[in-house]
């Protein structure tokens, strides 16, 4: 299906576009032909231009000079922020932070090492039980599983 623009719609679009670019001869002829055929289009054209001329004139007027105090305040605010930004980007600003972070890392590593050492100490205990048998002439003996519950005298008998 081919879309065909209605003459009135095309007329309006061209009137609007005439504000943005020079129209071609064919487009100008189209506008004039339609205006001749329908006088209400003359009003539509001038009304459209009036509305958008008004819109243009409603642009904020900044031609009047800004009071020097206001201008200075505006500049100062920006300059202050730029300074803060520049300081933050500098190495000196971050040096204490870097030192602190380094120290924290060292402390963490040391704590980890201590923890690992204490774990390793617990793991090196020999298997078996040490017991002291009181009474008779027996001396304290170490019972080791390898010797299948034979008692090994810790001290040779005199």
Partner 1 sequence: MVEGYAAVSPQIDATQELYWVARCREGDQVALSCLISKHRARLVRAATNLLRDRNEAEDIAQEAFLKAFRELAKLREDRAFAGYLYRICIRLCMDRLRLKRPEMVEFDPSEPCEGKNIENKVLIEKLLLKLPHELRATLVLREMEQLRYEEVAEVMRVPIGTVRSRLHTARERFRSLWIEATKE
Contact mark string toward partner 1, 63..82, x via CB under 8 A: ---x----x--xx-xxx-xx
In angstroms, give the least distance from the CB of 43 to partner 1.
12
Q: How far apart are CA 75 and CA 67, in angstroms?
A: 12
Which residues have CB under 8 Å from 106's CB, separation 6+? none
How many residues belong to the site for partner 1 (CB under 8 A)?
27
Q: What is the dihedral of CA 145, 147, 148, 149, to 10 degrees?
A: -80
Nearest to 14 by CA among 37, 31, 36: 31
- Judged by CB under 8 A, the residue of 6, 20, 125, 157 near partner 1 is 20
In angstroms, give the least distance from the CB of 122 to partner 1.
56
- Judged by CB under 8 A, the residue of 1, 2, 55, 119 near partner 1 is 55
| Site residues (CB under 8 A) for partner 1, limited to 111-150 | none
60 is an interface residue for partner 1 by CB under 8 A = yes
- Judged by CB under 8 A, the residue of 24, 42, 46, 85 near partner 1 is 85
- The burial class, CB within 10 Å (0-12 / 13-18 / 19+), for 10 is middle
Query: In the chain, how many H helices and how many E strands?
Result: 5, 3
3-state secondary structure of 143: strand
Binding span for partner 1 by CB under 8 A among 8-16, 33-41, 105-113, 143-151: 8-16
In the complex, the residues that contact partner 1 under the rule CB under 8 A are 12-13, 16, 19-20, 47-48, 51-52, 54-56, 58-60, 62, 66, 71, 74-75, 77-79, 81-82, 85-86
């Amino acid at each position: 299906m081919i879309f065909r623009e209605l003459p009135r719609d095309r007329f309006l679009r061209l009137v609007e576009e005439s504000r943005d670019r020079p129209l071609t001869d064919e487009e100008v002829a189209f506008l004039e032909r339609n205006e001749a055929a329908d006088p209400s289009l003359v009003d539509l054209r001038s009304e459209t231009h009036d509305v958008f001329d008004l819109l243009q004139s409603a642009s904020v007027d900044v031609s009047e000079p800004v009071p020097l105090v206001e201008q200075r305040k505006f500049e100062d605010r920006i300059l202050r922020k730029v300074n803060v930004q520049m300081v933050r980007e500098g190495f000196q600003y971050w040096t204490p932070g870097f030192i602190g972070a380094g120290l924290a890392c060292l402390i963490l590593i040391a704590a980890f090492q201590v923890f690992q050492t204490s774990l390793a100490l617990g793991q090196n205990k020999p298997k078996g039980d040490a017991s002291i048998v009181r009474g008779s002439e027996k001396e304290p003996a170490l019972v080791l599983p390898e010797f299948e519950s034979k008692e090994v005298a810790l001290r040779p008998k005199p």
